[in-house]
Structure 1
Amino acid sequence: MTVSLDKDKIETLRQQLFEANRVSHFVIIEARAKVSGATTEIVTDYNNYLNMRQENGASFDFSILRDILPITDNLVYWAVAQQKLHSIVDEESPERDEAINDLEMYTQKVMEDNKL
């Protein structure tokens, strides 16, 4: 785990997520590949869910598993991990691998928070 936040930073980020939640609330979705039937669960915001559905609807069926997520510490860590991964340019770096691992771990923790 490479994401480290103190209590003040968590609270600041939680407030930012509350604000973001007002614009486009957080959801957990499932994407099911139409050909293989493989599924993946994704934490995202509602607007991004709509974009994914529009852009990838030919290949995937999308459904919302949990709507309007609570802003937990794990969601804060998930958001930091997601932002960190998106900021990494080098696709073949150990830092990117760590960021992917962090994102997977915090995604799982958000799933557990939401009983999925």
Structure 2
Amino acid sequence: MEIQITDEEIKNVKNDLNNAKQRVHLVIFRTNHSIDDKPSMSLITDYQTFLNAKNKFDHSDLKIIRDILPVTDNLACWAIMQHKLATHDYEEKAVIINKLAFFTNQVLLENKLPSNS
């Protein structure tokens, strides 16, 4: 099953992200293996969620590596996949997770960071 993203969706989400920057901003942070014994990776989230995770995993080394991300088509696609992951059936989740990983890596590359393995 292929998950499609239309140009109109991207345009609308980019507008939403730009408007939301007044209240909340997105960051890229790096995880540390001490959280769950998995390799470090870079993730995208809003700043408040990052702070909540950092407080929850106080023994870990979560570090913001890019603050206040530029709103790009890839970031909009990442946001669309995040939303779809929370709202779609279990059968579609594997495809959505793969797309989410793809767009996460695209955003990382746009921000001159190495992609996740």
TM bucket (normalised to shorter chain) is: 0.7 to 0.9
Q: Tell me how large the CA RMSD over aligned residues is.
A: 1.7
Q: What is the TM-score when the length of structure 1 is the normalising length?
A: 0.86
Distance 1:10 1:56, change over 3 A: same
Specify which structure has the higher proportion of strand: 1
**Alignment identity in percent?**
33
Q: What is the TM-score when the length of structure 2 is the normalising length?
A: 0.85
Structure 1: 5+ residue stretches without partners = none
Q: Residue 38 in 1 paired to residue 35 in 2?
A: no
Distance 2:65 2:85 in 1: 24
Distance 2:4 2:68 in 1: 24
Distance 1:3 1:32 in 2: 33
Distance 1:89 1:56 in 2: 30
Distance 1:75 1:18 in 2: 11
Structure 2: 5+ residue stretches without partners = none
Q: In the alignment, what sits opposite 2:109?
A: 112
Map Cα deviations across residues 47-70 of structure 1 (whole Å, 9 max, x no partner).
111111112223x21001111100
Q: Residue 17 in 1 paired to residue 17 in 2?
A: yes
Distance 2:9 2:80 in 1: 11
Distance 1:49 1:9 in 2: 26
Distance 1:79 1:66 in 2: 17
Deviation at 1:111, TM superposition (A): 0.4
Q: Runs ≥4 in structure 1, deviation > 4 angstroms?
A: none
Is the 8 Å Cα contact of residues 3 and 80 (structure 1) preserved in structure 2? no
User: How many residues are aligned here?
Assistant: 111
SS at match of 2:112: coil
Q: Residue 102 in 1 paired to residue 99 in 2?
A: yes
Distance 1:114 1:56 in 2: 26
1:1-116 equivalences under 5 Å are: 2-6=3-7, 8-34=8-34, 36=37, 38-58=39-59, 60-88=60-88, 90=90, 93=91, 95-116=92-113
SS at match of 1:27: strand
